[in-house]
Amino acid sequence: MLDSVKNIRAVDRKGMMSLIGKMPDHLSEGLRRGRRTGLSNFTSKNIVICGMGGSAIGGDLLKAWLTDSCAIPCEVIRSYTVPSYVGKDSLVIVASYSGNTAESLCMLEDARKKRSKIVSISSGGKLADVASVSSIPHARIPTGLPPRATIGYMFGAMVGVVERVGAAKPDKQVEESQRILAKISELCGPAVPTLDNPAKKIAHEMFGRIPVIVGHGASAPVAKRWANQLNENAKCLAFSSELPEMDHNEIVGYSSDPRGKGFSIVFLDKDACEERMTDRIEATIDIVRCHAQAHSIEGTGSSLMSRMLSLVMLGDYVSVYTAVLNKVDPSSTEPIERLKTILSKK
């Protein structure tokens, strides 16, 4: 089924697949808009990214990337308020693709009360209106996309913002990431047959099982992204986990419970870490294979950013191919819209 472009298009009617392929362009354009919008001459004690869902995952990636290249602590908040440590020396990035996310708007107001330095990112909505009235720097990104398909814009804009304040220097990492993402798009596109297409192969191997994506360090938020995309695009149960914590609890279930046969465990970027973590991952794979299916997938590139984003893009393709196998529209999110309607009435 996955080797028929016609069958793929019949399921992916709104073109989620094509949006994934545009990630390299989204990344560069997001970076440009973030650089143009960000604050200058401000040294922050901490960086706080406020957002939900597809708008917040860019913050998770930024935090992981900054941990490797920046001494300023960074945190991602998914709530209605910001932590008590946030103050006038904090850089607060409020991200909401629609600009109307209730939690994000509440966090913006809380950060304003604490006199924080704020930069907002959205395609418009109330967030853009508040930014305009309150003279808050605002990076506006294109409208009309599913929020989860704007990861390139969001992450790129956030990188531009932290670069502008001098918190980090992406140097050549963005350029390398763009080149590698373009290659992955060519390799994983719908016209490439399963035999030569890693995303189609993974989708077939996981099909009919519950995926659990396992990351470590910088690949932990990538694992979360994979699970979220499988949830939303493929409409299937999927979860993420993190090493080494997984080995202190979860591993016992996979090694002992025969129901593990219904799971497919995907370990990300095994070789991009120190030797003791590589040894741990290999040992963990051997143990979980007692019952569960296990795979190991590597990122591409020499920089941390390129390895992270290459795995993000691969996972996005896998999620859409899994949607095709499940014969469900990857663009629809009816339960989320239904929940918003219920909450709006309350």
The set of catalytic residues is 232, 248, 340
* Cβ–Cβ under 8 Å, residues 118 and 111: yes
Strands 46-50 and 74-77: parallel
Q: Is 77 helix (H, G, I), strand (E, B) or coil?
A: strand
What are φ and ψ of residue 118, in 5° steps?
Answer: -120, 140
Show the tokens assigned to 264. 């497919």
Among residues 122, 94, 119, 95, the alpha carbon closest in space to that of 42 is found at 119
* Cβ–Cβ under 8 Å, residues 75 and 51: no
What is the gyration radius of the CA atoms in the chain, in angstroms?
Answer: 20
The shares of helix, strand and coil residues in the chain, as percent rounded to the nearest 5, are 55, 15, 30
